[in-house]
Amino acid sequence: MGLVVQKYGGSSVADAEGIKRVAKRIVDAKKNGHQVVVVVSAMGDTTDELIDLAEQVSPIPAGREFDMLLTAGERISMALLAMAIKNLGHEAQSFTGSQAGVITDSVHNKARIIDVTPGRIRTALDEGNIAIVAGFQGVSQDKKDITTLGRGGSDTTAVALAAALDAEVCEIYTDVDGVFTADPRVVKKARKIDWISFEDMLELAASGSKVLLHRCVEYARRYNIPIHVRSSFSGLRGTWVSNEPQGDQQVEHAIISGVAHDVSEAKVTVVGVPDKPGEAAAIFRSIADAEINIDMVVQNVSAASTGLTDISFTLPKTEGRKAIDALEKTRSAIGFDSLRYDDQIGKISLVGAGMKTNPGVTAGFFEALADAGVNIELISTSEIRISVVTRADDVNEAVRAVHSAFGLDSDSDEAVVYGGTGR
């Protein structure tokens, strides 16, 4: 039995009862002979409450102090969890990100891990302790300031520690039973995936699946750390994410792993761009200089009569204002006609390595959408993914139609076993 890293999210440790339940689960792993490292998030709504307080004292909270504030949340949950474990008769020690050796760059509020030096964790394990580590936080290499890793940072902490400690597996405990073939809130017949490759999981995460964040999966793939996503409430086997399936992990020989959707994006269309070299580069340089991440980019062939073309791209709605401002400043230099902004869009993506060798997938996808009466506005593909943009109102119907057309529906009407909160 080797070393296991377990990560528990805020909903799993929302109150004293949750902390005691999680403590029991951790002790069970220890009793089974594992060395156990636990990464924990802040309790329930703690982080949101701290953000509220910050906004009350200052409209623009500053980076360094904001990180100092937010990291208090994990400090509370990890200390309580260590106490609860001791109360079950096992030894536990809690460590801040800094104490655990999570070294980051200095970009406050969304720092990146650049090294993990878990000497104190290793010592704690060697002495027979369970090690509890604060998720979401680290310490900057140059200034020794407290940093936070941004959204989903605790998952990344867990995977990074698992890599540094050469763990057997990184278990991500959450409030759902695993990764599903579609969002179970939209598709009642969505099935839990038993095993999925890193590549497919990366595409699902990039396409709107919320269970695991892209950054965390990327990290796990780079260091080849199997992830096991499972419920802290039910304790059932969840979804394994790894290079290759192992043991009795079932691999569905479906062409498609799942259907993801995303309604958090908006579409910007730059109308009437002169069709000559350097124009697209100038547009996206102005977007990049404003530090805006974009998603899909589509350009059609230009109409021969005008020599003008339209370029569309999608980006998070929250960045919309900034993008429009950045583009307006370059309008005369680039010489486009106008800008169109549309935040009533949705994106539906079909993901699966099987589509590489199955030429009918694209056609089947579009037929399913057509049968459901859904109009396609943009199309973008990768080797193992097809994404389309539609009206936001059409998204749920489109997801259900595609899920069914590719044979992903489960036999039962209600496949989802929710844990406690039923997020």
In terms of CB distance, is 53 or 303 closer to a second copy?
53
Does 301 help bind a second copy (rule: CB under 8 A)? no
* Radius of gyration, alpha carbons of the chain: 23
DSSP H or E segment with residue 165: none
In terms of CB distance, is 72 or 271 closer to a second copy?
72
C-alpha 224/C-alpha 221 separation (Å) is 5
Phi, psi of 75 (to 5 degrees): -60, -40
Does 53 help bind a second copy (rule: CB under 8 A)? yes
Contact between 344 and 394 (Cβ < 8 Å): no
Does 92 help bind a second copy (rule: CB under 8 A)? yes
Q: Of 87-95, 162-170, 204-212, 235-243, which part binds a second copy (CB under 8 A)?
A: 87-95
Does 121 help bind a second copy (rule: CB under 8 A)? no
Supply the minimum distance, in Å, between the C-beta of residue 16 and a second copy: 4
Strands across the sheet containing 169-174: 92-95, 130-134, 35-40, 3-8, 169-174, 227-231, 239-242, 195-197
The response to whether 8 counts as a known ligand-binding position is yes
The response to whether 223 counts as a known ligand-binding position is no
CA distances from 103 to 12, 227, 310 (A): 26, 22, 44
Nearest of 245, 183, 243 to residue 395 by alpha carbon: 183
In terms of CB distance, is 75 or 237 closer to a second copy?
75
Supply the minimum distance, in Å, between the C-beta of residue 128 and a second copy: 16
Q: Of 14-22, 230-238, 325-333, 342-350, which part binds a second copy (CB under 8 A)?
A: 14-22
The response to whether 175 counts as a known ligand-binding position is yes
The response to whether 10 counts as a known ligand-binding position is yes
Out of 29, 54, 353, 417, the residue judged to bind a second copy by CB under 8 A: 54
Cα dihedral: 329, 335, 337, 343 (round 10): -40
Residues paired with 229 in a beta bridge: 172, 239
C-alpha 152/C-alpha 213 separation (Å) is 6
Q: Of 18-26, 109-117, 220-228, 254-262, which part binds a second copy (CB under 8 A)?
A: 18-26
Name the site residues for a second copy (rule: CB under 8 A).
16, 19-20, 23, 50, 53-54, 56-62, 64-66, 68-69, 71-73, 75-76, 78-84, 86-87, 92-94, 96, 99, 144
